Structure 1
Amino acid sequence: MKGVNVVIYIILLHGVNGDEDTCEMSACEALQQSQMELREFADSLEENNTNSYLCGKSQRTTKKWIECGRGPCKCRPETRTLSCWQNYLSSLPADQVLPHDVRSIDLGINRLSTLNKDAFQMLSLLSELDLFDNVLDHLPENIFEKLESLKYLRLHKNRIEDVPENLLSSLFAFTDLISLRRLFLAENNVTLLPTGVFDRLTNLEVLNLRKNQISYIPQNLFDKLHNIRIIQLTNNKLTQIGVNDFRRLTNIAELHLGQNFIVDIPENSFVENRNMEKLFLLANNLEELKEKTFNGLISLTSLFLNNNMIKNIHSRVFTYTPSLQKLQLDSNKLNFLPSKSLDFLTQLVSIKLARNPWHCDCNILYLAIWVSNNNEKLWDSESSCRGPGVLGGLLLKDMSFDDLCDGQWASMTNLSPRIPIRNKPNEELKESRNESQA
């Protein structure tokens, strides 16, 4: 109706100026003029409506945050955060208003055992969700549906158990979390992770599965995690790793496999992990390091192999880790290190060698000389001989060629030799007899 009035207004405007002016504008020109003025009028109406809408929306949002502050949780509209941290809640408060533009929700350290499947619906701007340290053993299917802005999800210290019966079973609880950067599932009771459970998390950078009951890594479990930087699998029940388990992780920087029961690392398991900087293999059941155990780890700076049962190390095992700066070999079953095995570590800054049963005969001469020349790099208690005989307890760095290689005879009387016994030439034997008779 307003548009019709405008047209009438235009016609009347041109008609009141007399006969001479009445015929100066054609019908087409009048139509064009009216269309232009109608567009201007419509634009002004739209601007007014938009301003009214934004004003109304702002008022409604402000009202929601005011109502949010009346509940038991702390609401901060200036940062768009809601915190129910350590409120000893057994369920979400019915009177707690949850604004749709909330950015962060902290429900950590409570007594929550379950959550409604619609608890986080319509929170399209939510980027951080803390549910750690509760008693959750089950999360409903699709509870994280459409949380496409979520970057940090903390579920550690709960009671999440076998995947087929709970959270991870509905593969897929993580399907919509395409922006997720950090996922914390540590200190639960997870025993099984099905293949594909992490496939949509292509932006994930940190995955923490520490202190669960995981006994093996399913095939292709991590293959789609192209941006992953840190994987934490410390303190699980792993007994082995497959040669392809981590092959697709070309950007990984830290891999934590300590405190498991791993007995062997297949050669070339890390051949594609050229950006890895830290590898944690401490407190496992490793007995041997083969030549290509660490093949591919050209950027590795820290290697933790302490508290294993390592007896044998290939002489070239460290040729594949030229950037290594920190090496822990303490608390193993090593009697000696092969000749030249540490010479490839030109960037080495610190090394731990203590609490190994170093057997001080000719086989350990290389290590004794290396320790003497690099004593400033030892950052634990000084390594000492376990034996044989009177050499027991003496420091490696103080051992000389005469101590070790003349002592070979003492070693042979107590232990079977690890190298063939070479008889002294006849002239040396005669001199030895003459010296003993004298």
Structure 2
Amino acid sequence: MLIKMAMDPLWILFLISCAVAKPLCPDECICSPKGSSGSHALCHGSLPHYYSFGINLQHLRISDVIDEPFTLGPAYFSGSSYSTLVSLQIRNTSLIAVQENTFAGLSILYDLDLSENQLLSDFDPNAIVGANNLRILSLSGSKGVFTNFSGPIIHSKHLTELDLSRCGIKELHWDTFSSLPGLSYLVLSDNELTSIPAGTFDYLTVLEELDLSGNRISFFPSSLFLKNEDLTVLKLRENPVSFIPDSLFSNDSILVEIDLSGTMLDSLALPS
């Protein structure tokens, strides 16, 4: 006996929507829709622009995109798949440039990791403008990104942690960090610095920890840290420095830890 079933129009629409809905996870990714810190996705092998998720994604890790050099342009992550991102990691890829306002629209992005991108040679100072919740940025191991620059390196009122280790940086300027007033943690280790100009850290008035290890610095100008009264940890290890002037720090400095291992200094009198 043939039974005919009358289909409710709303039910038909529901079935159609399920058929065309975004997949929970693209083929190039491994997704964990539920977790204590939100949904995660680990993707590799294709550009992030082509990803489409059917979940509200909080954490996205992208790696091993090496087929062709690519650029992250303005509002690159503006799609709905990315609007809920809290952390974004793009590591070990053929990324060559990050342009102005690339991360605009990622209003709750907190942690951005662009480390180990060996071909990255252009990072626009306004790249993270619009990502107003961003607090942590790493460009560690991107060796060509800041080999030739002038003016402020990055513009952000909100960034608190910046890792520029192993970036091939050969020099700093008095205004390099002038547009990062909220920075409290700065890593410049394992670069090619031979000197640091006076005034370089003057704009970092809330800086608490600075790592200059593994450079070629032999001299520090007097009063270099005069305006960094919140500085508590200073790492200078593996630098050929043999003399540090007494006026390097403010009399109100609260510095409690300094690493001089691998230098020509045995000790340093801290301000009291």
Paired amino acid for 1:84: L
Paired amino acid for 1:264: F
**TM superposition score normalised by structure 2:** 0.78
Match of 1:127 among 86, 89, 103: 86
- Change in Cα spacing, 1:93 to 1:195, as seen in structure 2 (3 Å) is closer
Secondary structure at the residue paired with 1:83?
strand
Secondary structure at the residue paired with 2:269?
helix
Q: How much does 1:274 deviate?
A: 1.6
1:357-402 C-alpha deviation (Å, 9 max, x unpaired): xxxxxxxxxxxxxxxxxxxxxxxxxxxxxxxxxxxxxxxxxxxxxx
The answer to whether the 8 Å contact 1:270/1:296 transfers is no
Superposed counterparts of 1:177-192, under 5 Å: 177-189=131-143, 190=145, 191-192=147-148
1:165-203 C-alpha deviation (Å, 9 max, x unpaired): x3x14x32222222211000010122134423422x211
Q: How much does 1:98 deviate?
A: 2.6
Q: How much does 1:255 deviate?
A: 0.3
- Change in Cα spacing, 1:248 to 1:77, as seen in structure 2 (3 Å) is same
More helix by percentage:
1
Paired amino acid for 1:174: I
Superposed counterparts of 1:15-164, under 5 Å: 63-64=21-22, 67-69=23-25, 71-78=27-34, 81-85=39-43, 87=44, 89-92=45-48, 94=50, 96-99=51-54, 101-111=56-66, 113-114=69-70, 117=73, 119-122=76-79, 123-139=82-98, 141-162=100-121
Q: How much does 1:283 deviate?
A: 1.4
- Change in Cα spacing, 1:135 to 1:241, as seen in structure 2 (3 Å) is same
Paired amino acid for 2:78: Q
Superposed counterparts of 1:357-372, under 5 Å: none
Residue in structure 2 matched with residue 389 of structure 1 by the alignment: none
Count residues with an aligned counterpart. Answer: 249
Q: How much does 1:120 deviate?
A: 1.5
Taking the aligned partners of 2:212 and 2:157, their CA distance within structure 1 comes to: 22
Root-mean-square deviation (CA, aligned residues, Å) is 3.0
Q: How much does 1:102 deviate?
A: 2.4
1:55-111 C-alpha deviation (Å, 9 max, x unpaired): x9xx98xx54xx1236331233335534225x4x144595x4234842221113553
- Change in Cα spacing, 1:68 to 1:111, as seen in structure 2 (3 Å) is farther
Taking the aligned partners of 2:270 and 2:184, their CA distance within structure 1 comes to: 24
Paired amino acid for 1:265: F
- Change in Cα spacing, 1:98 to 1:267, as seen in structure 2 (3 Å) is same
Does residue 175 of the first structure (1) align with residue 129 of the second (2)?
yes
Residue in structure 2 matched with residue 304 of structure 1 by the alignment: 259
Paired amino acid for 1:133: N
Identify the structure with bigger relative contact order (alpha carbons < 8 Å, sequence gap 6+). 2
Match of 1:196 among 147, 152, 163: 152
Taking the aligned partners of 1:234 and 1:116, their CA distance within structure 2 comes to: 26
More strand by percentage:
2
Does residue 259 of the first structure (1) align with residue 222 of the second (2)?
no
Q: How much does 1:231 deviate?
A: 0.3
Where do 4+ consecutive residues of structure 1 move more than 4 Å? Answer: none
- Change in Cα spacing, 1:110 to 1:279, as seen in structure 2 (3 Å) is same
**TM superposition score normalised by structure 1:** 0.51
Residue in structure 2 matched with residue 384 of structure 1 by the alignment: none
- Change in Cα spacing, 1:140 to 1:82, as seen in structure 2 (3 Å) is farther
Taking the aligned partners of 1:92 and 1:308, their CA distance within structure 2 comes to: 44
Does residue 279 of the first structure (1) align with residue 238 of the second (2)?
no
Paired amino acid for 1:97: S
Residue in structure 1 matched with residue 269 of structure 2 by the alignment: 318
Taking the aligned partners of 1:272 and 1:143, their CA distance within structure 2 comes to: 33
The answer to whether the 8 Å contact 2:25/2:54 transfers is no
Taking the aligned partners of 2:198 and 2:237, their CA distance within structure 1 comes to: 19
- Change in Cα spacing, 1:283 to 1:176, as seen in structure 2 (3 Å) is same
Larger radius of gyration: 1
Secondary structure at the residue paired with 2:234?
strand
- Change in Cα spacing, 1:105 to 1:279, as seen in structure 2 (3 Å) is same
The answer to whether the 8 Å contact 1:114/1:139 transfers is no
The answer to whether the 8 Å contact 1:268/1:296 transfers is no
The answer to whether the 8 Å contact 1:73/1:84 transfers is yes
Secondary structure at the residue paired with 1:131?
strand
Taking the aligned partners of 1:298 and 1:141, their CA distance within structure 2 comes to: 37
Same amino acid, percent of matched pairs = 22
